[in-house]
Structure formats: structure tokens, C-alpha cells
Structure 1
Amino acid sequence: MEDIALLSSRGYEVILCSSGAVSLGMKMIGLTPATAGLRDKQAAAACGMPLLLNAYKQIGHEHDLNIAQILVTLGDFGDHRRFLNTKNTLHRLIESGVLPIINENDTITTEEIRVGDNDRLAAKVAQMVQAQHLVILTGVDGLYDRNPSEPGAKLVETVHDVSQYLAVTSEVGTLGTGGMLTKMQAANMAQNAGCTTLIANGEADNPITSVLDGARPCTTCVAHAEPADSWAAWLTDRLQMDGSIVISNSAADAMATGGRGIDRDDIISICGNYVKGDVIHIYDETGTERARGMTDFSSEQTAILVRNREIPVKQLIGYHSRAVLVEIENLICLDDRHILWEPLEATATA
């Protein structure tokens, strides 16, 4: 908090992503993390939140910092309207000189509908407010070319292509739900939005300013020179896959050249259960992810449309519409800057 006050005096606008409520609340419900189930953790989060925020309030007061708490869920990032509402609240707090402290709302989330790690949550917030820097503090100096406990492991000081290091970041650390893999995923999201990520050890004096000043070792994931606009970044950088479709290779190639969306004649199979307005992942016949886009139909409606290609849309689903699953303005083709996702197993076949 002292370092954040120093940053503020330098003219930085700061948002803090911080967890810890579950750990703080465990003692109050008489359990330990090893013995606690989902309901126990949700209850512990409810107990720990006041303790965590009170600590931040008391210490913030010593440094003339006013704080506010924002609790978010996966849906606040996945639903575009809620995304914009959260963004507006953050900007209003920053304009007032208030430090927003963001955490996932662990009192209501379950494993199926949670972000799960502060790394990607912070990256989505950085994308949301179009931040210049994302600083991730962890238990090591940054990204290493192998497990840092192995002899000869070297710190990777600069990263331009995150995908080159995914193979060496699969181990999950003991200090939280995310390991170095989630930090690389977060860095990729930030890069795409024009934000530089700095990964460093959090156990240091002036942990943030010392990194920004280049006074100690860290890994710098350099922002892309030509970042995506906010709409494209929201469409492409996802925290969870809502669903996916497989389209023909010819349709995928035509889509890549621009000028067309995806209609029902392009679809080979449907994966997952999604609703209208969800962002779906789009694969070609080889299993290569080619695009992401916001769908105009649910997975159930899509299945009906592709199994009855000759029947008018209104006759099938009850209202008039073009048989276009993803309109071109809601479709972003992926390039080398994006981390691709593995396809789901098909739940419906055309």
C-alpha cells in the first residue's frame, strides 16, 4: 500500500487485484483448506472479506489512500453489457482518486463458473481499462526457461511470443490457484490489448516501483505494437469457452479472407451448450482454431438449423432471421498473437 501511494504521487492510476478472503475466513468456520469443501470455502470467503478489506482500509488510511471493493464473477467478463458496466465503475473510482481493490466473488462462484486465478482476472481488468502496465507479483523473479529449482535454469528477461514458453509453464505453484502458465496466459491477453506485463517476486521493498524502475530482475512481456481494439480484444481473449463449432475448410478459408460471416451451410458439428450472445470458438476440419465470434443463435437453435438446412428459419425457430450464426462484424479471425484453445468433443453433428 505504501508503494501504491508512491505510484499515485508519481501520477499513476492504480487498480489492485487481491485475494485472501478464503484463507482469512477459514479459522472462523473451524476448518482448514485441506478439509474444506466448496460450501465451506464460500462461507469462509464471506467471513474473510470484511477482515481483508478492513486491513486494506486501515493501512490505506495511513497513506492517505481511499479504497473501494469490487467483487466480480466470470459473467462480468463474458457478458459484454456487464463488462462495460464494470469498466464504467472502475473509471469513475479512478477519477475520484479511489483505489479499486478487485477480487472474484468467491461467496457465489463454483468451479464451473469461476475465473479461478488472479493472473487472468487482472489481465482482463487491464484490458478493460486499457492499462499501460500489468504487474504480476509472485514467488519467483519471473519466467524461467525451465523449472527454477533445476540447475542451470535461467530467467527469461524479455518475452515477445508467449506461446514459445507454454510447454515449460505447466506446473502449478503452491501459493495460489495459478502457476506460471496462467501468468503467461494473462500476459498474452495483456499484450493483445497493448499492455506490457511485468512478472516479478513480490517479496521485496517497493515491490511495484522497483520493477517499473528496472531496479531488480523480472520478466517483461512486451505489448504488441499494434494492439487490438477493445471490441476485438473482448471477443478473442476469453476466460472460459462457452461453446464451439467446426466449419468446413472452404468456409474457414473464405472467412479468413474477410467479407463473410458463418451461416448454417458452413457448419459440420456443434460443441458445448451456448446461448445467443455467447462467444464461440470456431475450428476447421483439421481441428485448428481459426476464429472467435459472438453467436446469434443458441446451440440448440443451431442444431435445429443445420439439420434442416432447406427449411426457412422462421418455420424452425418461430421468428424471421437470416440463417447466419456469426455476423462478420462479430467475428475475429485469429493470428499468431493469440493462444489457441484445444477443441471440445462434439455434442451435436450436422
Structure 2
Amino acid sequence: MTQKRNIVVKIGSALLANQDLLTPRYGFLQRLLEDIAVLRSQGFNVILCSSGSVALGLRIIGETPDSAGVSDKQAAAACGMPLLLNAYKQVGHEFGFEIAQVLLTLGDFEDHRRFLNTRNTVHRLLESGIVPIVNENDTITTEEIRVGDNDRLAAKVSQMVGASDLIILTGVDGLYDRNPDDPEAQFVPEVVDVNQYMDATKGKSTLGTGGMETKLQAANMAQEAGVTTWIAQGEIDRPLSTVLNGERRATKVIPNPNPLSGWDSWIANRLQMAGSIVLSEQTADALGQDDRPISRSDILSMDGDFTRGDVLHVYDSKGIERARGLSDFTSEELRVLIHNPDTAAEQLLGYKTRGEIIRSNNLVMLENRHLLWEAPEAVVG
């Protein structure tokens, strides 16, 4: 039996909610779900990453996108989610399929066990012919534990399910080399290196939390997992199949021809920085050679509060990010190790350990494949 091709679709709030009335846009949902039904009949699995719950709930709590604070948006999400799911369910039934809700937080992506549990749930839903609708659990998340945008959430879901394609539906027909309002702006049909377009992507939509910048960040995460990303206008008949069939204009972000393994992709593609360490330039140059781990003697400074198993961002002394890897110690333990370089790790920590901060098999070199993160003011506290 041929394995079905998984497609992840991210839909922005402006497509799902009327900007003035803050009510569901049923016409768009009809076109979208009809097209999903066609793709499913052709053997595709479709996973939706849907915004819209906050926007749809604002009217109920008497707020607007401009007036709503964090607690207002959390309350709006609680009110809007039933409206959003009811709209999907009603229209989905017209085309003969069921939907299921999967609410996630940052920890469901950043903790590997929870990541695998979530993946198993989504795969089980797909096996039953159900369309999973994935969203961040905006009712309970705060800035510290937020993914923050559904573009990168969709990229993580694409990685999670081994998708072939990520389609990001938005209000424009793709990426331009500058602000599309500029009369000299040129459409970009294909992207290999997203870095060259990041400066042209500032700004966001009125209802949403992300703009073109987060879409390119998501595309970079997807391409390193071997996923093709499409950025396309959502206001069209057959919004998905016309993209996949090349029937209309859309920006295609080419996947890396040598994608990372699932494990390395999970390590390298982060949504938040748990902590960071700084190495000398000489030590950083030697990373990735001869299965070399990172030891405490390699570390010049560190930053952040993290636990064992969190991913650390590794910088050289010039502040350039070189790698990401799993820490074998908590931040408190690492501080003790760094402050006492001449004392055995077992004596300091009270348990048997090899003292390797990041093991070689838990270290991923970035090698110009990823968008790099700026280094924090890293100091040993």
C-alpha cells in the first residue's frame, strides 16, 4: 500500500475572521475544506494549523485587536475556539470528513517525549481519516511559554509528521524583495537561502501575530527537515491544489537536498532559547570533528536557566552561533562546574558523571543552513 503524502496547511487569522465584524468567514472555509476534500480523495493527508480563535473571541468579550491585552486575548481564545471549531465541523461535514482539535504549548515541541507523544496522536488521527486542526493553546500560554506564531508552529508540525509540503496561506501572493506597497517591489518565485530576504519582511497583519518574517523563519525550519514550503494568497478557489499543481503564483522555498535526521532536526529547530554557552573561536572551529564533545573547560561563559535535556545555543567568542546541542546538566550544575574547574565533577555534583556538557551525538552544527540567533549577554552568574 502506498504511503499517503502529508501536507500541512497554515491559515492566518485574517483569512478566517472578518476584520470588522470578527465573525467566521464561511465563504473562505467552504473553498478551503472543499479543496481539502479533493486532496484527501487523491490520497493526501492534510493537517491544518489554524489561527483565528483569539480574533473570533474578541467581540464576545467586548475588545478589539487594538485594545486587547494579554489576559483579554487569553479570554478571547477561550471564547473563540468553540466558534472556530464549530465552523470547521459544520463545513467539514458537508464534505464528509471529521475534524479533531489538537491544542499545544511550547513545551510540547521543546520537550522530546511530549513531542513524540503529540506526533503519535496526530498520526493516529490521520490513520482514522480525521483532519487534525492544530493550534497553540492561547488560553493558558504566557509570553514565557508561547510559541508566539502559528507559522513556526506549522513548521514544527511539518517536521513532526514528516510532511512533504507546508502551505502557508496569507493575504498576499507570496514573498517580495521589499515591502509589497513599494511600486518597485519584485515578486520572488523561488527561495533557496531565506537569509537574503529577511530585511524585507518586517511588519505583521492587524489580526495576526506574525508577518512575512515569521513565514520565512518557518520556511527555514521546514527546509532543513526536507519540507517544501509554499507562501501563497488564500483568497482564491481551490487555494491548496492550485499551489501544488503550479496553476498560480506562489513563492516556493526549496528544501535542503540533504535534510537533517528527525533527531538532529528536533535539536536544531528551536522555538525559544533555553540557554546558551560561549566557546573560544579555536574550540568552536574544532566542533563536529572526531566526535568531540563540549567539556566545561571549553566554556568561556553561559547564559540562561535551563534543565538537563534542554537545547543550548553554542556561540563563539565573536558572538556567531555555531551549533545547538542537548545539555547534560542543569544551569545550576553547569555554573558550579565552571566556577570550580580543578575539582572533579563527581565530587562537585555528588553523582557519577563523565562531565561532558554536550555529547557529540547530541550536537548539531549549523553550517550556514539555519537562520542564526543573536547571542544574549552571556555571563557566568
TM range (shorter): over 0.9
1:90 counterpart (115, 122, 130): 122
Corresponding residue number in structure 2 for 1:323: 355
1:161 counterpart (159, 168, 193): 193
Residue 12 of structure 1 pairs with residue 66 of structure 2: no
Structure 1 moving runs of 4+ over 6 Å: none
Q: How does 1:298-309 map to 2 (within 5 A)?
A: 298-309=330-341
Instruction: Quote how far apart the aligned CAs of 1:224 are.
Output: 1.2
1:103 counterpart (127, 135, 138): 135
Give the counterpart letter for 1:82 in structure 2: R
Instruction: Quote how far apart the aligned CAs of 1:175 are.
Output: 4.1
Q: Distance in 2 between matches of 1:339 and 1:178?
A: 17
Give the counterpart letter for 1:68 in structure 2: A
Corresponding residue number in structure 2 for 1:202: 234
Instruction: Quote how far apart the aligned CAs of 1:36 are.
Output: 2.2
Corresponding residue number in structure 1 for 2:151: 119
Residue 283 of structure 1 pairs with residue 325 of structure 2: no
Corresponding residue number in structure 1 for 2:257: 225
- Deviation string 1:60-101 (CA, Å, 9 cap, x unpaired) is 000001100000001100000000000011111111100000
Task: State the superposition RMSD in angstroms.
Answer: 1.1
Q: Distance in 1 between matches of 2:58 and 2:321?
A: 42
Q: Distance in 2 between matches of 1:241 and 1:225?
A: 27
Indicate if the aligned counterparts of 1:272 and 1:347 stay in contact, CA closer than 8 A.
Answer: no
Query: Normalising to structure 2: TM-score of the pair?
Result: 0.90
Q: How does 1:23-102 map to 2 (within 5 A)?
A: 23-102=55-134
Give the counterpart letter for 2:171 in structure 1: G
Secondary structure at the aligned position of 1:325 is classed as strand
Equivalent residue pairs, number: 349
Instruction: Quote how far apart the aligned CAs of 1:30 are.
Output: 2.3
Instruction: Quote how far apart the aligned CAs of 1:274 are.
Output: 1.1
Q: Distance in 2 between matches of 1:206 and 1:324?
A: 53
Give the counterpart letter for 1:192 in structure 2: E
Give the counterpart letter for 1:308 in structure 2: N
Give the counterpart letter for 1:213 in structure 2: N
Instruction: Quote how far apart the aligned CAs of 1:13 are.
Output: 0.6
Indicate if the aligned counterparts of 2:204 and 2:211 stay in contact, CA closer than 8 A.
Answer: yes
2:343 counterpart (311, 316, 335): 311
Indicate if the aligned counterparts of 1:277 and 1:295 stay in contact, CA closer than 8 A.
Answer: yes
Gaps of 5+ in 2: 1-32
Secondary structure at the aligned position of 1:71 is classed as strand
Q: In terms of mean alpha carbon deviation, does 336-345 or 314-323 score higher?
A: 314-323
Give the counterpart letter for 1:206 in structure 2: R
Secondary structure at the aligned position of 1:29 is classed as coil
Indicate if the aligned counterparts of 1:275 and 1:299 stay in contact, CA closer than 8 A.
Answer: yes
1:2 counterpart (29, 34, 52): 34
Instruction: Quote how far apart the aligned CAs of 1:315 are.
Output: 2.1
Indicate if the aligned counterparts of 2:307 and 2:330 stay in contact, CA closer than 8 A.
Answer: yes
Secondary structure at the aligned position of 1:45 is classed as helix
Indicate if the aligned counterparts of 1:173 and 1:180 stay in contact, CA closer than 8 A.
Answer: no
Give the counterpart letter for 1:164 in structure 2: Q
Indicate if the aligned counterparts of 1:20 and 1:48 stay in contact, CA closer than 8 A.
Answer: yes
Residue 234 of structure 1 pairs with residue 266 of structure 2: yes
Give the counterpart letter for 2:225 in structure 1: A
Query: Normalising to structure 1: TM-score of the pair?
Result: 0.97
Q: Distance in 1 between matches of 2:374 and 2:118?
A: 29
Secondary structure at the aligned position of 1:13 is classed as strand
Residue 179 of structure 1 pairs with residue 237 of structure 2: no
